[in-house]
């Protein structure tokens, strides 16, 4: 994985994601996801998935964490951890990869965790290669 993960407390991110995962609103899928972002301001911002009977109207955990970061005054993602249950890796969906890209550099670490801890680390560039982001729109 590209980028440095030094000075990032992934245990704190895991704890925040695990805590908020329990609050996920998932009455339809029963698949609860928690996420936690370390913002550029040093604050950890958690988020959980919130389903809706009209499925496309729900929101992902990553989306909730990004909204919490922006509402809290943070502007850049230093690291993000996504926590899901099951044997398979629960990586951000395509839409969330693009949402993360809006606030994160390609080398930003993305930790993927299960109930037992971190399973795999990626850089955002590994999850979203050759991405379109804010720099594409700067003149």
- Answering whether pTM is above 0.85, one says yes
Query: Do strands 33-39 and 77-84 pair parallel, antiparallel, or not at all (unpaired)?
Result: antiparallel
Q: Kindly report, residue by residue over 16-34, the tens digit of the pLDDT.
A: 999 999 999 999 999 999 9
Task: Tell whether 35 is covered by a domain.
Answer: yes
Task: Tell whether 29 is covered by a domain.
Answer: yes
Task: Tell whether 17 is covered by a domain.
Answer: yes
Task: Tell whether 133 is covered by a domain.
Answer: no
Query: What gap in Å lies between CA 112 and CA 30, rounded to an integer?
Result: 19
CB atoms under 10 Å from CB of 104, counted, come to: 26
What the block records as the tokens of 129 is 């290669």
**So what's the pLDDT on residue 138?**
81
Q: Which residues have a Cβ under 8 Å from the Cβ of 113 and sit 6 or more positions away? A: 14, 17, 81, 82, 83, 84, 119
Task: Tell whether 88 is covered by a domain.
Answer: yes
Contact 98, 106 (CB under 8 A): no
Confidence of residue 4 (pLDDT cuts 50, 70, 90): low
If DSSP codes are grouped into helix, strand and coil, which group holds residue 32? coil
Task: Tell whether 134 is covered by a domain.
Answer: no
Confidence of residue 56 (pLDDT cuts 50, 70, 90): confident
Relative orientation angle of helices 94-103 and 61-72, to the nearest 10 degrees = 20
Number of domains in the chain: 1
What are the residue numbers of the active site?
A: 62
3-state helix, strand, coil in the chain (%, to 5): 30, 25, 40
The answer to whether residue 3 scores a pLDDT higher than 70 is no
**So what's the pLDDT on residue 60?**
98
Of how many residues is the chain composed? 139
The region of weakest confidence among 2-16, 51-65, 120-134 is: 2-16
Query: What gap in Å lies between CA 108 and CA 80, rounded to an integer?
Result: 8
Task: Tell whether 64 is covered by a domain.
Answer: yes
Q: Kindly report, residue by residue over 62-118, the tens digit of the pLDDT.
A: 999 999 999 999 999 999 999 999 899 999 999 999 999 999 999 999 999 999 999
Task: Tell whether 99 is covered by a domain.
Answer: yes
What CATH number is attached to the domain comprising 41?
3.40.140.10
Domain containing residue 60: 10-127
């Amino acid at each position: 994985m590209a980028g440095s993960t030094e000075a990032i407390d992934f245990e704190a991110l895991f704890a925040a994601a695990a805590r908020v995962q329990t609050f996920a609103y998932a009455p339809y899928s029963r698949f609860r996801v928690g996420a936690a972002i370390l913002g550029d301001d040093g604050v950890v911002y958690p988020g959980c998935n919130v389903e809706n009977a009209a499925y496309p109207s729900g929101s992902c955990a990553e989306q909730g964490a990004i909204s919490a970061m922006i509402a809290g005054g943070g502007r850049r993602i230093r690291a993000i951890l996504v926590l899901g249950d099951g044997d398979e890796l629960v990586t951000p969906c395509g839409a969330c990869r693009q949402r993360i890209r809006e606030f994160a550099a390609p080398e930003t670490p993305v930790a993927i965790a299960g109930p037992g801890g971190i399973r795999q680390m990626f850089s955002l560039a590994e999850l979203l290669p050759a991405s379109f982001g804010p720099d594409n729109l700067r003149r």
